[in-house]
Structure 1
Amino acid sequence: MTNEIKVLLVDDHAVVRAGFKMLLSAVAGMDVCGEAERGEQAIQLYQDLQPDIVVMDLSMPGIGGLETIRRLLQRYDHINILVFSVHHEQVYVNRALSAGAKGYITKNSAPEILPEAIENIVQGQRYIEVGLLKESSGQDYQAIVDAFSAREFDVFRLLAKGLTVQKIAGELCLGYKTVANYATQIKKKLQAESIAELPQIAQALGINVMPE
């Protein structure tokens, strides 16, 4: 990113916020522009600071995290919200995403996951920690991918590498509509809401998604 990413941290524990801030301050191009300890304060600060992304916990006093997400979305259609929570259970992941969060990671994740998630979301993608994505969908991805046809697997692998439908069509000598149909079917089978989730699924399965 060429411009600095402004981050608003929302967590009711000052020590936790300090840890987040220290972690992000070490990442070039990121700036923690504000901190809030509850949802009501976060809503006011968002209006004043206009950050690029809100990184927030779910368990907080007052209106709580989920209601904060809903209220922020009501006021700001294109807001970026990343949930950073101790909860890894399916119900929390699903409810946060349904409320409008663009991503969900746990506080037990590796340190590099937080800035990676922030960058992905600011760039317009969703980001769900790999283990949570598998758990929240309730699907056995390995079994689904094993059942792909050879052509479906080729398209899945190239989508996961970041290739566009048009580029895949050229590489596989297929029509654009044919590849687009494959992409739709792949997302449906994996219960992925967008192509942006496919690299994480591929990584969870040990499939190389690095550009060749």
Structure 2
Amino acid sequence: MTIRILLLDDHAVVRSGYRRLLDAEPGFEVVAEAATCDEAYACLQRGGVDVAVVDISLRGSSGIEAIRRMLARAPELRILVLSMHDNPGYITQAMRAGAVGYLTKSCEPAEMFDAIRAAAGGRRTLSPEVAQSLATAALDGEHGLSRLTPREFEVLRMAAGGDSAATIARRMHLSQKTVLNHMSAIRQKLEADNDFKLLRLAMCHGLVDLPAAFAYRG
């Protein structure tokens, strides 16, 4: 049986490289490509996709929220994340949103092929460095962001990156009031009574780099 694949990545060169690799592998066929979440949703409406290979770092949108919304449209879809991030926060929230596997972009092609086959069969797969990251965080007790829901995690990530409540609301298809309510819940869960503490936590957990953090507008 041929596994039909959707590629969601906002870099055309990356998608082209993955397409060449996957189309050359027996049993795989890339049937759709998308640069944005909306393009991915449109592809799913046409049907015929078994596995979506998704990058959660998408310009102008929420990758983790995209996972949730893609599965709402196509519950039978299997999603494999292929990301540059091996931070336990990203991994945990992507899996909570419904992904069945998580690899970093440094993985070998054979590892990606195996993960796609596992995803198509509904089996969970983590690359070794991803599993190590989760294990280290669990042992060290440092993964405080696990208290957040996937949506709260994305709101925090975008806010710490400098996005306003209005921008976050637009990108996540929420009202500004809902975004502000999420920020209030985030502060309570992380025991951060001001935005500077939130920024520090976001930086410590690798959600935002230092220059981006200083661009925060509240």
TM over 0.5: yes
Which residue number in structure 2 is paired with residue 77 of structure 1? 75
Unpaired stretches in structure 1, ≥5 consecutive residues: 141-212
- Supply the distance in 1 between the matched residues of 2:55 and 2:62 (Cα, whole angstroms): 9
1:24 correspondence with 2:25: no
Q: 1:61 deviation in Å?
A: 2.4
- Supply the distance in 2 between the matched residues of 1:117 and 1:30 (Cα, whole angstroms): 12
1:105 is paired with a residue of what secondary structure? strand
Q: CA RMSD in A?
A: 1.3
Which residue number in structure 2 is paired with residue 133 of structure 1? 131
Q: 1:44 deviation in Å?
A: 1.1
Relative to the length of structure 1, the TM-score reads 0.62
Q: Give a deviation string over 1:159-194, Cα, whole Å, max 9, x none.
A: xxxxxxxxxxxxxxxxxxxxxxxxxxxxxxxxxxxx
Q: 1:19 deviation in Å?
A: 0.7
* 1:47-196 paired onto structure 2 within 5 Å: 47-137=45-135, 138-139=137-138
Letter in 1 for 2:53: V
Letter in 2 for 1:46: L
Question: Which of 7, 10, 13 is the matching residue for 1:9?
Answer: 7
Q: 1:71 deviation in Å?
A: 0.6
CA contact (8 A) 1:38 1:64 kept: no
Which residue number in structure 2 is paired with residue 36 of structure 1? 34
Q: Give a deviation string over 1:125-179, Cα, whole Å, max 9, x none.
A: 0111122112113356xxxxxxxxxxxxxxxxxxxxxxxxxxxxxxxxxxxxxxx
Q: 1:63 deviation in Å?
A: 2.7
- Supply the distance in 1 between the matched residues of 2:89 and 2:47 (Cα, whole angstroms): 31
Q: What percent identity do the matched residue pairs reach?
A: 37
Aligned length: 138
CA contact (8 A) 2:44 2:73 kept: no
CA contact (8 A) 2:44 2:74 kept: no
- Supply the distance in 2 between the matched residues of 1:104 and 1:50 (Cα, whole angstroms): 22
Q: 1:50 deviation in Å?
A: 2.7
Letter in 2 for 1:50: G
Bigger Rg, which one: 1
Relative to the length of structure 2, the TM-score reads 0.60
